[in-house]
Amino acid sequence: MPEDATASDKGAAERKAASMRRQEASGGLWDSVKKAAVVIGSGILFLAAFGNSVTWHLQKFWGASGDFWQNLWTKLYLAFEGHEAALFFMGTMFAPTVAFWVSNGLLLLVDTTGKLSFITRYRIQMNKNEPVDPVKLRQALKTVIFNHVFISGPMAVGVYYLMTWRGNPCGPELPTFHWGLMELGVFSIIEEILFYYSHRLFHHPSLYKHFHKQHHEWTAPIGVISIYAHPLEHVISNTLPVMIGPVLLGSHLSTTCMWYCVALISTTISHCGYHLPFLPSPEFHDFHHLKFNQCYGVFGVLDRLHGTDAKFKQTKQYERHMLLTSLTPLTHSIPDHPKKGQ
């Protein structure tokens, strides 16, 4: 009888522990969902407020009447009348390229000189890339430019034909501002799902050594290596998750252009290596480059669902994974544990 009682108590304890783990996992997933909703929602609210503010100021400055953005688009549309393909490629190739290289130009200036201390003080992995290895950087830039020109470019051409087959992506009427914001939210969800599973697929041992290992040569990433990848990976994991959303929704060029620019700037921030004030936290993806088998997604919802953020949650990087709203670097306000013997 005592042995039966002991076994019964042990079984009850195991069931209780399992129940608590399920509750913790459920709560953790809900926390990630809320964080993702806050990120997407905050971005949408910011864009709404920013768009309305810019509209008001530009209307006042130029004395424009009516819908400023629609009038501006109409002028652009008429200027390219009969050349819709050129207009489409200007929005899906030229504008995102400018957004990518302008943001990375500043970061490369910091990375190659090691100066501009008002930025370097926010470095996530201290004593790394100070400055970046020029030989390694030149090699990466060759791949980045190749992917940008010879992979992303032809894929944008393919997107044009798919979208014109469905309708007119360069139509004379702009979508409403709020519809465009709703589309951006849908694009973000599609990207999270496709990027997580394709990215995790490339971490399978049979694929990793042939394809994804190239990207992980940078254990301390910098912004420009966000598209430093094997061409196959760049197609499947980097580009398709971004391009599929506008194709599925049959989006207007204005929304597609904005999304491409946002996606490129977002992945630049995720790889930049600096946790800068008032910008999204790059701690999550920076930890992925550091440890390889954690934090595969963008927002962390699917990582929480699949338990691929378990180690991350036990680190100082997780404590720092927040929007920095002060000028004090998080490595100062949330310092690492002192090493043994110190």
Residue 289 to residue 294: CA distance in whole angstroms: 9
Q: What is the predicted pLDDT for the residue at 5?
A: 47
What letter does residue 280 receive in the DSSP assignment? -
Q: What is the pLDDT of residue 339?
A: 63
In tens, the pLDDT along 155-164 reads 999 999 999 9
What pLDDT, on a 0 to 100 scale, did the predictor assign at position 294?
A: 94
Q: Which residues of the chain have pLDDT under 70?
A: 1-66, 339-342
For residue 201, count other CB atoms closer than 10 A to its CB. 16
For position 337, what pLDDT does the model report?
73
Contact between residue 303 and residue 289 where contact means Cβ atoms under 8 Å apart: no
Residue 127 pLDDT:
86
- Measured between alpha carbons, how far is 56 from 51 in angstroms, rounded to an integer? 9
Q: 97-151: per-residue pLDDT in tens?
A: 999 999 999 999 999 988 888 899 999 998 888 889 999 999 999 999 999 999 9
**What is the b/e burial string over 96-119, where b = at least 16 CB atoms within 10 angstroms of the residue's CB?**
bbebbeebbeebbebbeeeeeeeb
- Written as one letter, the residue type at 135 is V
Distance CA 122, CA 332 (A): 9
Hey, is 331 helix, strand or coil?
helix
Count of all residues that appear for the chain in the document: 342
Quote the pLDDT of residue 7.
47
- What span, in angstroms and rounded, lies between the C-alpha atoms of 169 and 243? 14
What's the pLDDT score for residue 10?
Answer: 54
The residue with tokens 């864009």 is: 47
Here the tokens at position 303 are 């990582």
Residue at token pair 């977002």: 266
Residue 11, pLDDT score: 54
The SS3 assignment for 321 reads coil
> Alpha-carbon distance 275 to 272, whole Å?
8
Q: What angle do CA 223, 227, 232 make, to 5 degrees?
A: 160
Give the global pTM: 0.82
Helix axes 177-202, 253-271, angle to 10 degrees: 50
